[in-house]
Amino acid sequence: DSGVTQTPKHLITATGQRVTLRCSPRSGDLSVYWYQQSLDQGLQFLIQYYNGEERAKGNILERFSAQQFPDLHSELNLSSLELGDSALYFCASSVGAGGTEQYFGPGTRLTVT
């Protein structure tokens, strides 16, 4: 158990809908990273937040957004969902902004029908 929690574990929704994925980092970690894992794209970095501020962006679609709250939990919002958004979404956390050791949560499996 990495200490990173993610909810929900599974999510099934229809195209065009909006969902919110939640992540709580390990105690003491200030950075949260979001990754998408799909069969054709592998593990792709989406976005990083450090202590409430956006720190880095990767291959995140404009339909996706994230935020980190004062209690350091983070939410990833996915809107106007498409079939191709079906994937595993992981968050990871690290102590600092330059988090060399990132600890991954168990993931949220999103299925868009």
Partner 1 sequence: QQQVKQSPQSLIVQKGGISIINCAYENTAFDYFPWYQQFPGKGPALLIAIRPDVSEKKEGRFTISFNKSAKQFSLHIMDSQPGDSATYFCAASEASGTYKYIFGTGTRLKVLA
Tokens of 104: 């991954």
Query: Rg (Cα) of the chain, in Å, rounded?
Result: 13
Name 57's Cβ contacts closer than 8 Å, sequence gap at least 6. Answer: 46, 47, 48
Q: How far is the CB of 65 from partner 1 (least distance, A)?
A: 17
Indicate the residue among 45 and 79 with the shorter CB distance to partner 1.
45
* CB of 18 closer than 8 Å to CB of 33: no
**CA 64 to CA 34: how far, in whole Å?**
11
Q: How far is the CB of 16 from partner 1 (least distance, A)?
A: 28
Indicate the residue among 56 and 83 with the shorter CB distance to partner 1.
56
Q: Which residue in 32, 103, 110, 112 binds partner 1 (CB under 8 A)?
A: 103
Residues 16 to 55 in contact with partner 1, rule: CB under 8 A: 33, 35, 42-45, 48, 50, 55
Site for partner 1 contains 2 (CB under 8 A): yes
Report how far apart the first and last C-alpha atoms of the chain are (Å, whole number): 31
Indicate the residue among 16 and 54 with the shorter CB distance to partner 1.
54
Residue 17: HSE in the Cβ half-sphere, 13 Å Cα cutoff: 13
Please give the residue ranges that form the binding site for partner 1 (CB under 8 A).
2, 4, 33, 35, 42-45, 48, 50, 55-56, 58, 90, 92, 94, 97-107
